[in-house]
Amino acid sequence: MAPGVLAPAGLFDGSPEERHRQLALMWARHNANPHRALSGVSAAAVLGLPVWGLDVRRVVAVDWGRAPGTRTSSRLHLVSDRRPPAVVDTDGVPVTAAARTVVDVARSGARIPAIALGDSALHQGLCTRDDLAGELDLVVGMTGAARARTVVASLDGRAESVLESRSRIELADAGLPRPELQVELFDRLGRFIARVDMYWQKERVVGEADGNLKYRGSDARAAILREKERTDRIHDLGYRVTRWGWKHLTPPTLLTSQLRTALAIDPANVNPPRP
């Protein structure tokens, strides 16, 4: 990461998010400077936000004390910034605050990954919509400002995972009806049955975005049985349940086709997807 800096074996094991987080922390601690902070994808990783689909090849940092411009190497992307600093201390290093981080990633990162990151920031309570609106005001006239405004308008803090965020946007891009998120279902006696990821009331369809971790480990069988009982109770209420995972998003047309069938939608009546 830097001359003379040694990393213990195994430090960079795990997810891309964790590897980038450790690299960013090492760089920040080795290059401590009162005018600098981790920013963009590096700030996101340290803040505990998902960086799926984003470029994590370089540590990203901002320097309020240098002349306008950028400096990029194989390991670092350093930018200057005319905005007032917005910094929080996380794990002992300065990083740009969550709202600034979301807007900065949205200005230059891929749209759906930026939405997933922003959803997570709202869901975790790291920032509010007012915070994001304030940051959008500060980037007016800057590169990527319009992109950031589009991303922020698409955020929904009810999403609980990257899979949910990506699924929601892929379905919207394909012109499918917008679901309600994280809806609680009750039986006729008012007893709680389940909280579901996505809910189409008119079509009486429930959508569940299942990640890969739910059924792993020694308790997998018990988890599968609990999930089956939960699904049976939802069926008893008269709802159809459709499930999907990451494999249904490679390509996304697998998911959109599955949902069209579940929602009984004629493809000829669906708006064309975004270009």
β-sheet bridge partners, residue 90? 93
Q: Which ranges in 31-174 belong to alpha helices (H)?
A: 40-47, 98-108, 111-123, 129-138, 145-153, 162-173
Residue 175 falls inside a structural domain = yes
Question: Do both 135 and 176 map to the same domain?
Answer: no
Q: Which amino acid is it at 224? A: I
Q: Are residues 123 and 66 in the same domain?
A: yes
- Pair 142, 38 in one domain: yes
To 5 degrees, how large is the angle CA 134–CA 114–CA 182? Answer: 90
What range does the domain containing 234 cover?
Answer: 164-264
Asked whether residue 42 falls in the same domain as residue 85, the answer is yes
Which secondary structure element, helix H or strand E, spans residue 198, and what is its range?
A: strand 192-200
Residues β-bridged to residue 209: 244
pLDDT in tens, the chain (275 residues): 444 454 555 555 577 788 999 999 999 999 999 999 999 999 999 999 999 999 999 999 999 987 777 788 888 999 999 999 999 999 999 999 999 999 999 999 999 999 999 999 999 999 999 999 999 999 999 999 999 999 999 999 999 999 999 999 999 999 999 999 999 999 999 999 999 999 999 999 999 998 654 555 556 777 778 888 999 999 999 999 999 999 999 999 999 999 999 999 755 555 544 44
Number of separate domains in the chain: 2
Among 157, 178, 201, the domain boundary falls at 157
Domain boundary among 157, 186, 205: 157
- Give the number of C-alpha atoms closer than 13 A to the C-alpha of residue 235, restricted to the C-beta side: 8
